[in-house]
Structure 1
């Protein structure tokens, strides 16, 4: 379980200066890495793995994936739809990134209408 004194990484802003410089993937990867590193089961795993490393093979379990989902939803201000609640979505930082980018783009398109 996440400790009560968990300090939130700054809220993600897809419009910030870093995003406008074309470094979306690197920024998103690092944002995800920061957020999920606070999960005790992933603290020693996430900092050193490549973005496409299979987190299930690295030791993640279903409870950890639920913690991850809750933290990422809170941090990025999105709700993962049922179609995204799959083992594949949580398999790697890269797969999480793909789903989150899609959701953030959808959210941005809706808010600009």
Structure 2
């Protein structure tokens, strides 16, 4: 599995769009994950499962991400690892947008 670099450690030309998307993902998590305001206290690399997210909440997050960003998570992306952190969710959404031609 490819090691992921937190957004705050990315080159400047990549960090801004990813950081903005990460904040949108954070907002979705605040509402859909059941973690509420706790999400604001998490670093982008913190484990959402350890923070208290459960599988039912991950389905709500999935639906909210798909609706918000007009992407569809393929079966191969429906893993605990993808839903483990704000970073991994952000990168997955970016990858799906790029694949669909939504992001340059």
TM-score bucket of the superposed structures, by smaller chain: 0.7 to 0.9
Change (3 A) 1:62 1:21: closer
* Aligned positions, number: 92
Offset, 1:98: 1.1
Is 1:93 the counterpart of 2:86? The answer is yes
TM-score, normalising length from structure 2? 0.80
- How far apart, in 2, do the equivalents of 1:55 and 1:35 lie? 13
Q: Can you give the 5+ residue segments of structure 1 that lack an aligned partner in the other structure?
A: 1-19
Per-residue Cα deviation, 1:26-57 (whole angstroms, up to 9, x for no partner):
11110101122112611132111000000000
The alignment's C-alpha RMSD in Å is 2.3
Q: Can you give the 5+ residue segments of structure 2 that lack an aligned partner in the other structure?
A: 1-12
Higher helix content, 1 or 2: 2
TM-score, normalising length from structure 1? 0.74
Is 1:105 the counterpart of 2:101? The answer is no
- Give 4+ residue runs of structure 1 displaced > 3 Å after superposition: none
Is 1:43 the counterpart of 2:36? The answer is yes
Is 1:53 the counterpart of 2:46? The answer is yes
2:8 aligns to what?
none
- How far apart, in 2, do the equivalents of 1:21 and 1:94 lie? 13
Name which one, 1 or 2, has greater alpha-carbon Rg. Answer: 1
Name the SS of the counterpart of 1:42 in structure 2.
coil
Name the SS of the counterpart of 1:51 in structure 2.
coil
